[in-house]
Chain A
Amino acid sequence: MRKLAALAAATFLTVAAAPVVHAIDHGKGYPGFCKDDKGVTVVIDFQQLGGAAIVRCNPQSTAGTGLDALKGAGFQVAGVQRWGEAFICRVENKPAAADQIPINGRENYRELCIDTPPAAAYWSYWHAGNNCAWDYSQWGVKNRQFLQGGFEGWSFSLNATADTNPVPRVAAVRPGTEGKACNAVDEPKPVSNDPGETQAPVQGRQPQATPEAEQQATPPPGAPTGALPPPKPRASATARPKANDPSSNIAFSGGENAEDVNEVIKRTSGASDYAPWAAGGAVVVLLAAGFFVARRRKRANES
């Protein structure tokens, strides 16, 4: 019984050591596309999960992983319990644990983020250089390096196959660079089956900075790009397919009004502020009662 008490105490201490709740860090990154070729633009397309797409910029000018890009842009993500953040299962609390995801054949599926999500309902991971078409990432989120001035995309894939994974419906085109050539080089594919293999952060892979002079007038960030006139098609020297026309972008926001995920969870789950105290109290009461019963029994046996 004493061991149990020690265990309980240890758990309390560890939990107590965790920092207090803090609101979503809107201070991380900024809404909309990146303003220049520093940093990486992250596009989240919720697809069937509903809600407007979110585009935010992580202005980090140093090298970083796809996960750094997500977090640095201010997104709140959750990994599965089994793999941790190496496998993102929720972005901005979507799909929420209580949501039913209509997978074909399993209409009542809920994503509990415990094991790898099913192939029919997961966040597909994309990347693109500026002005380039989206590419399905061959790398895990912790294993690839984001492209300075490039794009990272997340698009929820529901009931799709490897060939029909939905591309993020926001073109990887920074406002003001429409019609420019896609300068990105093909990124190397993983050479091994090792899940821990990481991309080498090669400087040569960074696209050449687009000369400032070539840029057209930059619209204010966050402005609906759909309103812009279509850029003139330009011949590109690279082999990479070009990005879609930004005019076909779906509606998106910078996530300015997104609520803190923890707050949402707390509100939707019906959690009570008092329940943890009640639980702790119940544990203490049961331990004390157990202790007294054991002692009384011991005395009875001895007498």
Chain B
Amino acid sequence: MTSYFLPRDLHPAAWWVWALGLAVAATRTTNPWLLLTIIAVAGYVVVARRSEAPWALAFRLYLVLGAWIVAIRVFFRLVFGGAEGSTIILRLPEIPLPAWAAGIRLFGDVSAESLLGGLYDGLRLATMVICLGAANALANPKRLLKAMPPALYEVGTAVIVALSVFPQLAESVLRVRRARKLRGGNGKRTQVLHSIMIPILEDALSRSLQLAASMDSRGYGRAGLVEARQRVLTGAMMIVGLIGVCVGVYATLDGSTPRFLAAPVLSVGLLIGLVGFRMAGQRVQRTRYRPDRWHLPELVVALSGLGVAAVLFVTSSVDPTNLNPSLIQLSWPLLSWGPLLGVLIGVLPAFLTPVPEPPHAALEVVAS
């Protein structure tokens, strides 16, 4: 039991499952009580379990973004047709629009119902965005890339390399711009741009060549021993599976296509694709250094997120009005205990998981 709470970073996928669970729950409701509770739950878990890494500090940006979404939704209701409903609370002069803009209304009467509708709707979207923000703050994006299935290993490496290019580019730009001043730096704009871009691009190019040489000599993309026949088979399975999934998804969404194209084709396509994927992964003879593993805490995190989503799915079929408050007559949004307690399941990871490992700097302080 003591080892359960030893500080460590949880598997990033667990946090993503948790956050997506909350986000899915948010899609099921426009009840402001529930949405605010979801935001508070996500916020508290982030505060309690985030690390000191730079991406963990981005959560407040998501909160600001959420506030913006709500504000913009309400503002739009104000500007374009806010007269839905009968409780008019604001009478603005309506701006007459030419005939070609028929159907669009600018200002005019604003009703409380429509403002509330905008608020609920905006709050729902904001909650979903904030849930994703929570996942970003809690899960190390690089470790998530590392946790990708073997078949996608090379894509993951490419993404990591690409990400590391940006700070290097920014560094080059600063350096070259400063150096430009030493040569006077007056001249035509295009010439100045040219004189800055050329060294930066040459720098970037030579760096990427060095990186490619280094990766090549360190074994990146070792093919291993794969027969050509098996490679063709794997490729074919992946493509067939993908086509099957595309057709299946289309048929599922479009009710007019024959039903046998929907679920059966989708599942068969998925199956073939997964088998191909699996085979592609198996031929990759690579291993992971200290892979993140799923232990009990990860399970707790993921299940709590799924639990929230599940409760809101179940209750939405029992008492949907609870989750989508009616705007027929203005009233306080109703709420029953089921969904509220369901949402509060999501706060469990703040208590039932180990804290993340302290950052490097803190370790040094403790050690010295």
Give the interface of A toward B (CB within 8 A): 1, 3-4, 6-8, 10-11, 14-15, 17-22, 71, 76-79, 81, 84-85, 90, 96-98, 110, 112-114, 192, 194-197, 261-262, 265-266, 268-272, 275-276, 278-280, 282-283, 286-287, 289-290, 293-294, 297, 301
Contact = CB atoms under 8 A, between A and B. Distances in A.
Given A112-B324, A197-B102, A15 B337 contact: no
Contacts of A265: 321, 326, 334
Contacts of B362: 301
Given A84-B84, A97-B324, A194-B102, A17 B334 contact: no
| Main SS class of interface, B | helix
Contacts of A1: 43, 47, 60, 63
Given A4-B43, A270-B338, A11 B36 contact: yes
Contact of B335 (A3, A78, A197, A272): A272
A66 to B, nearest CB: 14
Given A18-B330, A114-B324, A269-B336, A287 B40 contact: yes
A260 to B, nearest CB: 8
B225 interface: no
Contacts of B173: none
A55 B319 CA distance: 29
Contacts of B39: 4, 7, 283
B306 interface: no
A279 B324 contact: no
22 contacts: A4-B43, A7-B63, A7-B67, A7-B70, A11-B36, A18-B112, A21-B332, A22-B329, A98-B321, A114-B324, A196-B104, A196-B105, A197-B102, A261-B326, A262-B331, A265-B334, A272-B335, A275-B33, A275-B335, A276-B33, A282-B37, A286-B40
A279 B31 CA distance: 11
Interface string B23-62: 0000000101110110111011001100010000000100
Contact of B102 (A10, A17, A192, A293): A192
A93 to B, nearest CB: 8
Contacts of A76: 328-329
B121 interface: yes
Given A8-B36, A79-B84, A282-B344, A294 B327 contact: no
Nearest to A78: B328
Contacts of B102: 192, 194, 196-197
Contacts of B47: 1, 290, 293-294, 297
B335 A271 contact: yes
Nearest to B36: A283
A192 B112 CA distance: 31
Contact of A85 (B63, B66, B85, B104): B85
The 7 closest A-B pairs by CB, nearest first: A196-B103, A271-B334, A269-B319, A97-B320, A84-B84, A286-B40, A279-B33
Interface of B: 30, 32-34, 36-37, 39-41, 43-44, 47-48, 52, 60, 63-64, 66-67, 70, 84-87, 89, 102-105, 112, 114-117, 119, 121, 123, 316-322, 324, 326-338, 340, 344, 347, 362
A194 B102 CA distance: 7
A301 B52 contact: yes
B169 to A, nearest CB: 31
A71 to B, nearest CB: 7
A20 B336 CA distance: 19
Nearest to B70: A7
Given A194-B102, A265-B326, A283-B37, 7 more contacts: A8-B40, A15-B332, A79-B84, A84-B117, A97-B320, A269-B319, A275-B340
Contacts of A110: 317, 320
A290 B63 CA distance: 14
A293 B330 CA distance: 38
B287 to A, nearest CB: 36
Contact of B34 (A261, A279, A286): A279
Given A17-B112, A85-B85, A269 B66 contact: no
Contacts of A266: 334
B117 A81 contact: yes
A3 B337 contact: no
Contacts of A114: 324
B60 A290 contact: no
A1 B102 CA distance: 43
Interface centre among A98, A276, A279, A280 (most CB of B within 10 A): A279
Contacts of B328: 76-78, 90, 261-262
A276 B44 CA distance: 19
A14 B36 contact: no
Nearest to B74: A14
A189 to B, nearest CB: 16
B44 A289 contact: yes
A258 to B, nearest CB: 13
Given A7-B67, A272-B335, A286 B87 contact: no
Nearest to B30: A81
B321 A276 contact: no
A15 B32 contact: yes
Contacts of A3: 60, 63-64, 67
Contacts of A78: 326-328
A98 B60 CA distance: 38
B300 to A, nearest CB: 19
